[in-house]
Amino acid sequence: MADCVAHYGVIYPDGRKGSADAGWVSVFLQLLGGTNIVGEMVMAQLSVSLLDQDGEWICAKPADAPRPVVVPSSDLQRQLLALLRSERGGDVTFEVGSEVFTAHRYMLAACSSVFMAELFGPMSENAAGKVQVDDMEPRVFEAMLEFIYTDSLPKNDGGEKVEMAQHLLVAADRYTLERLKLICEDMLCDNIDKSMVATTLTLAEQHGCCGLKEACFNFLGRIPGNLEAVMASDDFQHLKTSCPSLVKIIIDQAAAVFGSHVLKIDGYSQTKGLDNGRCITSMVFVIGGLRWSMQYYPEGQTSEDTGWISIVIMRNYTRDDDEGAVKAWYEINLLGQDRNPVPWCSRASSSPREFSHGRGHGGKLIERSVLEGSGYLKDDAFSVRCDITILE
């Protein structure tokens, strides 16, 4: 028969002092006196379990042991940049203005079809290992080389960052560096203002940047006064000379009619019973002499919109209306309690849309669960605003 021994449990709420258990609840079983009643050491099997309020076991996953091998993050970008700057093993030089850059032709050719043809094609200048680069600033060429070696851009601040993006977009288009071109295009989309939209629009047209061009037109059409300010600028005169087709579009937009309408949804909880595809239509409002309405879909307009609140703008017709379609920009915004648009909850056209009989535009605006958890739903009500710019 086993000896009777006395023991007690010890709990350390924040781990044992001086150990690596800080932040952990630690449990130890202690034998009173260190031996049994006859003075012998005791061998025992121990199991400690966490119990819930009903005394049931709670299965807890033990902490993972530290991994014996730690793999560091890749350092390839830094190594390649160091190789470029050291000029070690460089086998081609570029004369750009008054500066000379040494690089590795296989690295350049792997990233650019233009460099491949220039350095290895039948018309290559590889005999002397020197290439003359005209119409490009040395700092722009250097930044392009760094991107080829590291797949990232050097850091620039403020206006210098935007100016560099403009120059690099041109360089990327020249050397078929598509990823660099898209990065610059995206950066310029985020930095459109009245002072540079005409220049950016010219750049987008000349280098086939459709997304950037749409962003410029969206900027011009969304805020009243933008068009007039741009048309009065010196850059607009350059745009008239270099891209006359774009000027016609801008002049057409200058004759546009702008208007807004706010739709307030009172009794939101009562509308949640509507099935997907069913809507509540607002009262008719007039913008530019035309009749419009907004459709509110509490459960989404289509099966893909289930769980979303969708808003659609419709053109309303009467017997006396001309059945012809109109083109218009639109933007739909959720409004905060201060009646200002919520920046992250917006749906806008990237180009003019055609509104005809029975054809509306819009779609999902915000998930129901997100709206219900936000402060924009108050007293069982929320508001949305649509802005419409009609092109005459």
- Structural domain spans, the chain: 7-52, 76-254, 257-391
**pLDDT bucket at 15, cuts 50 / 70 / 90:** confident
Sequence-distant (6+) residues with CB within 8 A of 145 are 84, 101, 103
- Residue of 386, 178, 185, 176 whose CA lies nearest to 294: 386
* Sign of CA pseudo-dihedral 234, 235, 240, 242: positive
- Residue of 200, 205, 206 whose CA lies nearest to 184: 200
**pLDDT bucket at 43, cuts 50 / 70 / 90:** confident
Instruction: Report the chain's mean pLDDT, rounded to a whole number.
Output: 84
Tens digits of residue pLDDT in 83-136: 999 999 999 999 999 999 999 999 999 999 999 988 888 766 554 578 999 999
Res 128: pLDDT:
59
Res 155: pLDDT:
80
The model's pTM is 0.55
Taking the C-alpha atoms of residue 142 and residue 247, their distance in angstroms, rounded to an integer, is: 35
| Angle formed by the axes of helices 244-254 and 197-206, nearest 10° | 140
**Greater model confidence, 91 or 42:** 91
Tens digits of residue pLDDT in 123-159: 665 545 789 999 999 999 999 999 999 999 888 766 6
**Fold match, 76-254 / 257-391:** no
**Greater model confidence, 46 or 299:** 299
Tens digits of residue pLDDT in 224-244: 667 777 777 777 777 777 777
CATH fold, domain 76-254, is Potassium Channel Kv1.1; Chain A (3.30.710)
In terms of Cβ atoms closer than 10 Å to its own Cβ (0-12, 13-18, 19+), residue 282 is buried
Taking the C-alpha atoms of residue 224 and residue 129, their distance in angstroms, rounded to an integer, is: 55
Identity (one letter) of the amino acid at 185?
E
**Greater model confidence, 390 or 324:** 390
> What percent of the chain is predicted at pLDDT more than 90?
45
**Which of 12-16, 208-212, 308-312 has the weakest average pLDDT?**
12-16
**pLDDT bucket at 54, cuts 50 / 70 / 90:** confident
Q: Where are the alpha helices (DSSP H) in the chain?
A: 76-86, 105-111, 113-120, 138-150, 158-174, 178-189, 197-206, 210-222, 226-231, 234-242, 244-254, 268-271, 368-372
Q: Quickly count: other Cβ atoms within 10 Å of residue 167's Cβ.
A: 18
Q: Where are the alpha helices (DSSP H) in 255-378?
A: 268-271, 368-372
**Which of 60-74, 265-279, 291-305, 320-334 has the weakest average pLDDT?**
60-74
Residues 60-75: what's their mean pLDDT?
77
Which residue in the block uniquely carries the two structure tokens 């004759």?
255
Give the H/E segment covering residue 130.
Answer: strand 130-133
Res 316: pLDDT:
85
**pLDDT bucket at 2, cuts 50 / 70 / 90:** very low
Taking the C-alpha atoms of residue 309 and residue 364, their distance in angstroms, rounded to an integer, is: 6
Residues 381-387: what's their mean pLDDT?
95
Q: Which CATH number fits domain 257-391: 1.10.10.2120, 2.60.210.10, 3.90.1150.10, 2.70.150.10?
A: 2.60.210.10
Res 276: pLDDT:
92
Residue 36 has pLDDT above 60, yes or no: no
**pLDDT bucket at 223, cuts 50 / 70 / 90:** low
Residues β-bridged to residue 227: none
Contact 214, 252 (CB under 8 A): no
- Residue of 341, 285, 338 whose CA lies nearest to 315: 285
Taking the C-alpha atoms of residue 166 and residue 141, their distance in angstroms, rounded to an integer, is: 13
Residue 262 has pLDDT above 70, yes or no: yes
Taking the C-alpha atoms of residue 57 and residue 72, their distance in angstroms, rounded to an integer, is: 39
Q: Quickly count: other Cβ atoms within 10 Å of residue 297's Cβ.
A: 25
Res 1: pLDDT:
40
Residue 255 has pLDDT above 70, yes or no: no
- Residue of 181, 88, 96, 77 whose CA lies nearest to 142: 96
Res 129: pLDDT:
78
Residues 288-304: what's their mean pLDDT?
91
Taking the C-alpha atoms of residue 65 and residue 63, their distance in angstroms, rounded to an integer, is: 6
